[in-house]
Amino acid sequence: NAGVTQTPKFQVLKTGQSMTLQCAQDMNHEYMSWYRQDPGMGLRLIHYSVGAGITDQGEVPNGYNVSRSTTEDFPLRLLSAAPSQTSVYFCASSHPEGNSPLHFGNGTRLTVT
């Protein structure tokens, strides 16, 4: 019972490099989302998807792209990494019901130097 799987767990990038954070869920959840967590700021929504082929921007989308070609996968792409993107990134998913909690992956700690 894997739940939400994120890879990698840790990553160090140089400024200007690009990379993709992977996220997969095996719970057949329609809703998936990416958050970043910074000290004192809680979790802020980057992008989300309500189903395959549908994505939308959250609160802090600049510098990130997403796609949702399947129900299971929701990768997050950093186009040109900047030090301001140093953060912990969480992928989360849920059923499309109001009382359904988000299930989170274990996070990716990204450092941009």
Nearer to other proteins, 25 or 33 (CB): 33
SS (H, E, C) 83-104: HHHCEEEEEEEECCCCCCCCEE
Site string for other proteins, 17-56 (x = CB under 8 A): --------------x-x-x----xxxxxx--x-x------
Phi, psi angles (nearest 5°) of residue 24: -140, 140
Paired with 32 in beta bridges are 49, 93
Q: Which is nearer to other proteins, 13 or 36 (CB)?
A: 36
Binding site for other proteins (CB under 8 A): 31, 33, 35, 40-45, 48, 50, 58, 88, 90, 92, 94, 96, 98-104, 106-107
